[in-house]
Amino acid sequence: MNKYRDFDNYLKEMPDENGYFGEYGGAFLDPELVPAFKEITSSYQAICHSAQFINELRRIRKEFQGRPTPVYHCERLSALFGNCQIYLKREDLNHTGAHKLNHCMGEGLLAKYMGKKKVIAETGAGQHGVALATAAAYFGLECDIYMGEVDIAKQHPNVIRMKMLGANVVPVTHGLKTLKEAVDAAFDAYKKEYHDAIYCIGSCLGPHPFPMMVRDFQSVIGIEAREQFMEMTGNMPDAVCACVGGGSNSLGMFTPFLADPVDIYGVEPLGKGGNVGDHAATMKFGTKGKLHGFESYLLQDENGEPLPVYSIASGLDYPGVGPEHAYLKDANRVHYDAVTDEEAMEAFFLLSRYEGIIPAIESSHAVAYAIKYAKEKKSGSILACLSGRGDKDIDYVYEKYGCGESFDLDKYKK
């Protein structure tokens, strides 16, 4: 059977009413939180079919976020590797500099509809935190953002931005002090405040309905990109790719292409290599398990405890992955690969030097994969999601790599 045809009715079937994508997903909650999540689900189901909500979100996307973001043809970068053409969906040009605002404005609108006074979230790279703080300022809501101390030091500009936007940044000091611990802390806070607050999860993760809801809000990326690419070239791309942390920019990009004859690649962080603690490549090395209220692939020990993870990209540094990705991997519809810190950083400097675009380190993983694809295929086209801009990363990158002197950026020139 045509491997693409199975996906014609996909959005009607996935997830099921209990939030399952095949055997992954669900909602494993403390009993006290069950009614709160049911309320979120029923409120979302009500508003996502309401013309008023859809029109308001459309207006916000156009007038406040600056959508649609463009698709850009990287002619100089492509020319380095032969005849395969690399294109980027420019989510770095979305207001606040990354894709995260796409779901935050939707979640903020939902919070308003539900009569909540506060939004709570975790953040890794700070992009979700900045986006939610922005949505909170826009909608007049209080905002608490939980962030690991390691990430606070690494992503300093985003910490300042969140504070300027009026958010309360709560440092998380236990464990590895990165994204997983920030999610733990945000969940604990939500348990105490769910009457007045809503937990706005920052990716296609967590208990139902968040994986579905965040995917739906993010699908604007792929809907726009598909139409723009067709308009520019008259064809579908041969492949699309995106980096995978929890999975929101990637599912936003992939979903509208699932029923098309297009190869789809999710790119995870291989960090310093394949040893435990050196990477966060959940699809490559993980097994089925439970974390933060949902079932998916997980990097875990023999007792089901999450293993330590690492990536140079704070936003990819998570031991789990959204349940829909687990389903799409098993269904063999999306292929998952991983690139190292060094490959991502070379892509960071190449895109900066050859196209005048400084990417987020997270997004550099997708660019690195597009380069790998272009080198291998030598023809055709690949459309990568440039999920965010690199301004938040420049202090850290400069300290570690200078302005890229250790990379031979001219070696691909003919």
Ligand X SMILES: Cc1ncc(COP(=O)(O)O)c(C=O)c1O
Can you give the binding site for ligand X, defined by CB under 6 A? 98, 124-125, 127-128, 203, 243-250, 315-316, 360, 362-363, 387-388
**Which lies closer to ligand X via its Cβ, residue 219 or residue 250?**
250
The pairing of strands 287-291 and 294-298 is antiparallel
Minimum distance of ligand X from residue 98's CB (angstroms): 4
**Which lies closer to ligand X via its Cβ, residue 112 or residue 333?**
333
Minimum distance of ligand X from residue 228's CB (angstroms): 20
SS (H, E, C) the chain: CCCCHHHCCHHHHCCCCCCEECCEECCCCCHHHHHHHHHHHHHHHHHHCCHHHHHHHHHHHHHHHCCCCCEEECHHHHHCCCCCEEEEEEHHHCCCCECCHHHHHHHHHHHHHCCCCEEEEEECCCHHHHHHHHHHHHHCCEEEEEEEHHHHHHCHHHHHHHHHCCCEEEEECCCCCCHHHHHHHHHHHHHHHCCCEEECCCCCCCCCCHHHHHHHHHCHHHHHHHHHHHHHHCCCCCEEEEECCCCHHHHHHHHHHCCCCCEEEEEEEEECCCCCCCCCCHHHHCEEEEECCEEEEECECCCCCECCCCCCCHHHCCCECCHHHHHHHHCCCEEEEEEEHHHHHHHHHHHHHHHCCCECHHHHHHHHHHHHHHHHHCCCEEEEEECEECHHHHHHHHHHHCCCCCCCCCCCCC
99 included as an active-site residue? yes
74 included as an active-site residue? yes
Q: Which of 73, 74, 208, 385 is catalytic?
A: 74
Minimum distance of ligand X from residue 215's CB (angstroms): 10
Q: Which of 73, 84, 95, 99 is catalytic?
A: 99
Minimum distance of ligand X from residue 19's CB (angstroms): 17
Minimum distance of ligand X from residue 4's CB (angstroms): 24
The whole-angstrom separation of Cα 229 and Cα 92 is 17
| Helix orientation angle between 101-113 and 51-60, rounded to the nearest 10 degrees | 140
**Which lies closer to ligand X via its Cβ, residue 81 or residue 348?**
348
Residue type present at position 316: L
Minimum distance of ligand X from residue 116's CB (angstroms): 23
Minimum distance of ligand X from residue 414's CB (angstroms): 32
**Which lies closer to ligand X via its Cβ, residue 246 or residue 289?**
246
**Which lies closer to ligand X via its Cβ, residue 40 or residue 367?**
367
**Which lies closer to ligand X via its Cβ, residue 237 or residue 269?**
269
Supply the residues annotated as catalytic: 74, 99
